[in-house]
Amino acid sequence: MSEDEKLHEDAEEIRKETAEGAPELAEHDRVAELERQLEEANSKALYAAAEAQNVRRRLEADKEQASSYAAASFARDMLAIKDHLERALVAVNDELRGDKTATQFLAGIEATARELEAAFARQGISRIKSVGEALDPHRHQAMIEIPTDQSEPGTIVEEMQAGYMMKDRLLRPALVGVAKKPD
């Protein structure tokens, strides 16, 4: 038997003798141990409850954000349709607007464009202001620089394609021409 084992054995005998000779000390140690275990269990329970609450909050925030922006992909697809409707209306000349049959056809296209605009508004989709605004790389994509004395450099002077926001997120940047000083 090693010296360490002998010491452990002796210590165990002394503990037993002390516990038999002084039961109030053993009872006190047992109560202290139980109190420590209770405190540890309470601490773990509070930690688990806090963690569960944090997980619940994160899930609620994720769910809210997912439902709020669920239509973003569909909205991007609809922007192409809106662009085509706007191009069709811009391409109609005065002569065609005077024709009775064409006027009815145009009225249908205009009604469709208005309904699409109303659907966008209900979903929080709005057009980004461009012409006359300063270039904002978070909302605009500069395609060309246009030499001009009419506007300050960095100001948008032409919009090639409208940009759109969905609430606070960019759906599509506006494609724009930016003023620069003439050479």
Residues 110 and 89: beta-carbon distance below 8 Å: yes
pTM of the model: 0.62
Distance CA 77, CA 74 (A): 5
Per-residue pLDDT at 19 exceeds 60:
no
What is the overall mean pLDDT for the chain? 87
- Res 98: pLDDT: 84
Would you call 149 helix, strand, or coil by DSSP?
coil
Compute how many other C-beta atoms are within 10 angstroms of the C-beta atom of residue 3: 7
Ranges of each domain in the chain? 3-66, 71-123, 126-183
How many residues are there in the chain? 183
Tens-place pLDDT, residues 93-118: 888 888 888 888 888 999 999 999 99
Per-residue pLDDT at 4 exceeds 80:
no
CATH H-level, domain 126-183: superfamily? Head domain of nucleotide exchange factor GrpE (2.30.22.10)
Residue % of the chain over a pLDDT of 70: 90
- Res 96: pLDDT: 82
